[in-house]
Amino acid sequence: MLNGRDPRIDFFRGLALIFIFWDHVPHNPLGQITLRNFGFSDAAEVFVFLAGFASVMAYSKVLQREGYWMACLKILRRTWVLYVVHIFLLALLMGIVFFANSHVETRDLVQEMGMTHFITHPQQALLDELLLRFKPNLMDPLPLYIVLLASLALVLPLMLRKPWMVVAVSLTVYLLAPWMGWNLRAIEDGVWYFNPVTWQLLFVLGGMAAIQSQAPKPVQPPSLWRQPLFVTAAAYVLVAGAITLSWRWPHVHDALMPALISDLIYPISKTDLSPVRLLHFLALAYVTAKLLPTAGWTQNPVAAQVCRMGRFSLEIFCLGVVLAPLADMLNAMAGDALAMQLLTAWVGVLLMAALGAWLELNKRLNQRAT
């Protein structure tokens, strides 16, 4: 039975939300220290993997305690909540972007945010919004999560009984999808930026990790450097980091990168979750789990604040989506001055932390009232 809540999961969900916010503010200097600058994967992989982990951890307990149909009902209810939040958030985001665009003369924020479809085809855009086909910048993760969570209602019982069978089927679909051209439709004959047919594998692997986390652990495992899998994963993370850093100096990258390796790994598709991205994230997650086997470090004040943000990931994500264009507007009005860019980046994080603290307090007050 899957029990308990691992604060390390909350911490890395919260950290991923901070990185997503920083990455979505153009020219933000703190965006240079996020995960995407040190490897092939980024915060999106963290978000989806941990969403799978947390979903299976939570709804498997419901299934075991109350049965499949109640678990299915609660999954679909949560999916509906996510859908409603997505529609409301998109409407709010469009209003903020249109407002910001009226105060910035040097750039067209509406075009940069991918919202021209709403101006040129408003009626079609409203229909596409309801069908999850109209997804401006910043809005891609939530529709992906909606589709993946809804699919969990179908595979959860089998995942608990025969998880490796589910992983095998998921991997097969992942490998076939780019070759067969499987994806969901988006506006103007486009496709989803996060292809759910391929990203489902990462969600499934997150669920698999939740199940495996409850398995008995060796009493005294050998030292990390005597574990071949850890050494291999750590080496891959370091090599991927070196390659990613070399992208900053194209002439150095082109001079040192062997043509054989270049032909093998490029292009690195985010839409179809390229194998080198997937392997990089899995290696990074494995190395991190091995280096941080306990959760005591999450008790320090800063980590505790990040954990709190991770516990309310939906609300914090929505706030980050709203704050990103506002920060971009303020930065542009200040001529993208470094001081303003740093100020808006840190104020945004403080506001996200404040929302997490408020939600935690509100939850405790409700528990005391009942």
Q: What is the predicted pLDDT for the residue at 188?
A: 72
Q: Vertex 330, ends 324 and 335: CA angle to 5°?
A: 125
- Asked if the model's pLDDT at residue 90 lies above 60, the reply is yes
Q: Which of the four pLDDT bands, split at 50, 70 and 90, describes residue 370?
A: low
- φ, ψ for residue 185 (rounded to 5)? -75, 145
| Helix 7-23 vs helix 313-333: crossing angle, to nearest 10 | 30
- φ, ψ for residue 35 (rounded to 5)? -60, -35
| Helix 313-333 vs helix 68-101: crossing angle, to nearest 10 | 10
Q: Which of the four pLDDT bands, split at 50, 70 and 90, describes residue 215?
A: confident
Q: What is the predicted pLDDT for the residue at 224?
A: 87
Q: Which of the four pLDDT bands, split at 50, 70 and 90, describes residue 367?
A: confident
Contact 53, 210 (CB under 8 A): yes
Q: Which of the four pLDDT bands, split at 50, 70 and 90, describes residue 236?
A: very high
Q: What is the predicted pLDDT for the residue at 2?
A: 40
Q: What is the predicted pLDDT for the residue at 28?
A: 93
What pLDDT digit, counting tens, does each position of 1-47 carry? 344 578 999 999 999 999 999 999 999 999 999 999 999 999 999 99
What pLDDT digit, counting tens, does each position of 104-143 carry? 888 898 998 989 999 998 999 999 999 999 988 889 999 9
Average pLDDT over residues 204-229: 86
Cα Rg of the chain (Å, integer): 21
Average pLDDT over residues 145-161: 95
- In a 3-state reduction of DSSP, which class is residue 68? helix
The pTM score is: 0.94
Within 10 angstroms of residue 128's Cβ, the number of other Cβ atoms is 19
Region of poorest pLDDT, from 67-71, 103-107, 304-308: 103-107
* Whole-number Cα distances in Å, 54 to 62, 110, 136, 324: 13, 35, 27, 26
Q: Which of 220, 247, 282, 318 is nearest to 45 (CA)?
A: 282
Within 10 angstroms of residue 156's Cβ, the number of other Cβ atoms is 22
Report the alpha-carbon distance of residue 219 to residue 289 in Å, rounded: 17
Q: What is the predicted pLDDT for the residue at 1?
A: 37
Contact 56, 152 (CB under 8 A): yes
| CA within 13 Å, CB half, 93 | 29
Tell me what percent of the residues of the chain surpass a pLDDT of 90: 80
On average, the pLDDT of the chain sits at: 93
Q: What is the predicted pLDDT for the residue at 3?
A: 41
Q: What is the predicted pLDDT for the residue at 5?
A: 75
Report the alpha-carbon distance of residue 333 to residue 327 in Å, rounded: 10
Burial class (CB in 10 A: 0-12, 13-18, 19+), 257: middle
